[in-house]
Amino acid sequence: MHLSELTHPNQLHGLSIFQLQQIARQIREKHLQTVAAIGGHLGPGLGVVELTLALYQTLDLDRDKVIWDVGHQAYPHKLITGRYADFHTLRQKDGVAGYLKRCESKFDHFGAGHASTSISAALGMALARDAKGEDFKVAAVIGDGALTGGMALEAINHAGHLPKTNLIVVLNDNEMSISPNVGAIPRYLNKMRLSPPVQFLTDNLEEQMKNMPFSPELSRLKEGMKRLAVPKVGAVFEELGFTYMGPVDGHNLEELIATFKEAHKHPGPVLVHVATVKGKGYAIAEQDQVGYHAQTPFNLATGKAIPSSKPKPPSYSKVFGETLSKLAENNPRIIGITAAMATGTGLDIFQKRVPQQYMDVGIAEQHAVTLAAGLACEGMRPVATIYSTFLQRAYDQIVHDVCIQNLPVFFCMDRAGIVGSDGPTHQGMYDIAYLRSIPNMVLMAPKDEAELQRMLVTGINHTSSPISMRYPRGNGYGVPLMEEGWEELPIGKGEILRQGDDLLMIGYGSMVYPAMQTAEILSEHGIEASVINARFAKPLDEELILPLAQKIGRVVTLEEGCLPGGFGSAIAESLMDAGVVVPVTRIGVPDILVDHATPDESKAALGLTPPQMADRILKTFVKEGSAIAVL
């Protein structure tokens, strides 16, 4: 059978080990060819090919459910569930999603882009199954990196308390999330990887003792002997109420199939510990597991990225990492904190330059925020560097542990706004709305990478309250940067970039330059606009904005974030509270989910390109009887 003929995972039933190995080879070939051509996640999927095939051969996927954590490790799952023919459209507009989506396939039982959700969701499905008197298997596949997230541990705690609820947790242990895992749990799992399989020992005890007459004393003896048979490093999951099986070679199909078949026979929660290699089957990815977690288009033979047609300015993340490192070298109180995203946030630069001031807490955003609060209590300058979409996971900690206590934690939100091919789970749409409603929080956003440098200094020096800075994914504008000597900005003060009497445009962060471009297009139509770089969404520069709004009489706000509760809402509320009654047009992301596409494609679909915005403004204000029309 060829991979292209696999449209339903039940077609794996009855295939020989040799046939499965052939399918595994074809999955890796298709995966590598696709990502090499268009970019995307690479290492996670390559590491779970055999795991996927073995698990699915032991299940009836017309009934049974597999819940994948995060989702980018599920590319082999996609290739054997009817998406082979469209796999070349991976992460492209209107193509196959880079993560799991319930609306994409009946086999995607739970959507996932953030980590640590699978065990909770799978347990919920198992409990619903039991409540309805149904009979099907539920398995959660979770990486060891995601196991560092508190939500996964909460789910394990709950599941282990339900001895009659059948659930299988498959721990895909490759010692990595994006970067090498940190903390006590990965260290514990590493010990387990180095230990021999233990299930045969406990099975042997069961066999020898099953015909002995029951007594409470014998039962206690039996359990005690099982504990002695299970190496100390494997006892924790057993103590938590799980039947532990493993570690199993994650690339040995025979061993995997036998283990999964045995796991299905055990009542209650079972944890199957599978040791895999991230990037398996592509030597270059195996040797550089961080670099090949995800890749831009690259040459399969050499592994080298296909060079861009022209050099690009440095990314915001790189400017952030370089500047924060420079500041930290002269200030030992600065502590850079990441939740397993050092390379994505630029803190890998910080780690190399000032390792003693760097903290990686694993995929644990809630802990990261309250850790920062504790550091701030003792006079340190914690910089919690977390993607906008991931900071959502720590909202209660921002409110309860930081803002209520008015602690000077500096939140730096990378990937704010439209992020592109990762899709709805990763779009940084909501941070303006979810932060500006909290008392004591200051919100700022730079118009370019040079202003980011100044805002970094501003945030470090601001010690009277929490403060946050959002900045976009991707490259800056190529504006001149400084090596040192950056001046801080006055809190709550914007700047006028362009003068005009017909329209007031107020841009925030990444939309300031597009606002200037839009103003130039409007000028060609005889409309002269003033443009303000707001810099701050909270507090607003009302001394600057309100008089100009009153004088000009027409206001347009521009933001790369959700309109409900966002920056435009803040401006409208400020005008209303001050009694300045003027028409306000808010330009941003409407109340919809933004699907995967390139950022440019998403902006065009949302009407956020300068020509589109100019056209909208003209249609809004230039009409018969309007003030502009009679100028």
298: left (phi over 0), alpha (psi -120 to 50) or beta: beta
Alpha-carbon dihedral sign for residues 500, 506, 512, 514: negative
3-class DSSP state of 278: coil
- Partnered with residue 66 across adjacent β-strands are 139
Classify the C-alpha dihedral 337-342-345-348 as positive or negative.
Answer: positive
- Number of Cβ atoms within 10 Å of the Cβ of 172: 26
Contact 116, 69 (CB under 8 A): yes
Here the tokens at position 299 are: 């040459």
CATH topology of domain 496-630: Rossmann fold (3.40.50)
Enclosing H/E stretch for 155:
helix 150-159
Could you give the CA distance from residue 342 to residue 346 in angstroms, rounded to a whole number?
A: 6
Q: Is the dihedral of CA 109, 114, 118, 121 positive or negative?
A: negative
- The alpha carbon of 187 is separated from its chain's Cα centroid by a whole number of angstroms, namely 23
pLDDT at position 190 is 66
Note the pLDDT of residue 304.
85
**CA 256 – CA 261 distance, rounded (Å):** 9
Tokens of residue 31, six digits: 């995966």
Q: Mean pLDDT of all residues in the chain?
A: 89
The C-alpha atoms of residue 43 and residue 289 are separated, in whole angstroms, by 7
Say how many C-beta atoms besides its own lie within 10 A of residue 435's C-beta.
25
**In the structure, how many helices (H) and strands (E) does the chain have?**
25, 19
| pLDDT at residue number 226 | 47
Cα distances from 489 to residues 141, 228, 530, 533, in angstroms, run 47, 64, 21, 13
Residue with tokens 């947790």: 169
Residue 264's nearest CA partner among 104, 60, 451 is 60
Same fold, 317-470 and 496-630: yes
Residues annotated catalytic, as ranges: 278, 365, 393
Quick check: 264 and 246 in contact, CB under 8 A?
Answer: no
Positions of the chain with pLDDT under 50: 198-202, 223, 225-230, 232-233, 624-631
Model pTM score: 0.87
Please give the single-letter amino acid code of residue 8: H
- Look at strands 529-533 and 495-498 and give their pairing: antiparallel
CATH topology of domain 317-470: Rossmann fold (3.40.50)
Tokens of 169: 């947790």
Q: 9-194+238-291 falls under which CATH superfamily? A: Thiamin diphosphate (ThDP)-binding fold, Pyr/PP domains (3.40.50.970)
Distances in Å between the alpha carbon of 568 and those of 118, 455, 525, 553, 616? 36, 21, 25, 16, 16
Pairwise CA distance, residues 3 & 22, whole Å: 9
Domain ranges of the chain: 9-194+238-291, 197-230, 317-470, 496-630
| C-alpha–C-alpha distance, residues 411 and 397, integer Å | 12
Reported as half-sphere exposure (CB side, CA atoms, 13 A), residue 195 has a value of 21
Q: Which of 125, 116, 113 is nearest to 154 (CA)?
A: 116
Q: How far apart are the C-alpha atoms of 509 and 413, rounded to whole Å? A: 12
* Residues sharing a CB contact under 8 Å with residue 256, sequence separation 6 or more, in sequence order: 50, 51, 54, 55, 248, 249, 250, 274
